[in-house]
Amino acid sequence: MAAPDARLEEALSPVRERLDRAAILCDLDGTLAPIVARPELARLPDGAREALARLRDRALLLGFVSGRGLADLERIVGMEDCAYAGNHGMELHRPGAEPELAEGVAEHLEAIAEFVAAWPAERLAPGDLRMEPKGATLSVHARGARDPEAARLLLAQVASEALDRGLVPTPGREVLEVRPPVAVDKGTAVRALLRGSGARAAVYIGDDRTDADAWRALRAMRSEGALEVALGVAVASGEVPPAVREAADIEVPGPPGALHVVRRLGD
């Protein structure tokens, strides 16, 4: 359900009371950055980086968790002293540490590269699809395809070939992601970023099925006693499935709503 200001303030209050012991974790595309026709065009809206910087300076930890490759995620956010998880947690970069791969990912990098090579642009052209290699994973984009049915059929073929190679195809919003067969998702990502941080409260803001993994992980950590407060915020739009919205604790309207949450926490 959408959150009127009073309900949102009630949900954020326990986090604000513990802000110096709180971790604020955000998805990027569709959450902080509006969805665009081509992923390379994505950017933070005006004023977002300043609001995020205020929150970073007040909270225990500010982190970004995305399906984008780590380097691309860090380029778009453009902020130091933050935690980053790229490729749904397969790439991790904690403040003050070197970037690293999640356990089990390195042994599959060659298979991902071989799959990218097996799908050159000319094979994707009949469906008007675009390949985005991301190192540990890859994405095949259908957004903006001139023939949606041709795109759907070709995406199904890409998914079938990924399965034949022992890889894991995962559909998203007009995109197919192909991942290595490792037990890594945004839930394991948030656990990894929070490990050893001392956080007692955590907020995760997201807009997709993959973000529900993070919400579940935070609730599990609360049940385990690792957190006192766990809050899942869904960023709703017409493309967000009802099941995703229902999986969160509270809902805000689109990226402007996500930025409002950032500002309320940081002010």
Q: Which residues pair with 256 in a beta bridge?
A: none
Q: Are 244 and 212 in contact (CB under 8 A)?
A: yes
Within 13 A of 27's CA, how many CA atoms are on the CB side? 30
Within 13 A of 217's CA, how many CA atoms are on the CB side? 22
Query: 């590269």: which residue's tokens?
Result: 113
Residues 5, 20, 27, 81: which is the catalytic one? Answer: 27
Using CA atoms, how far apart are residues 155 and 153, in angstroms rounded to an integer? 5
Give the total residue count for the chain. 267
Active site (annotated) includes residue 27:
yes
Q: What is the SS3 assignment for 112? A: helix
Catalytic residue numbers read 27
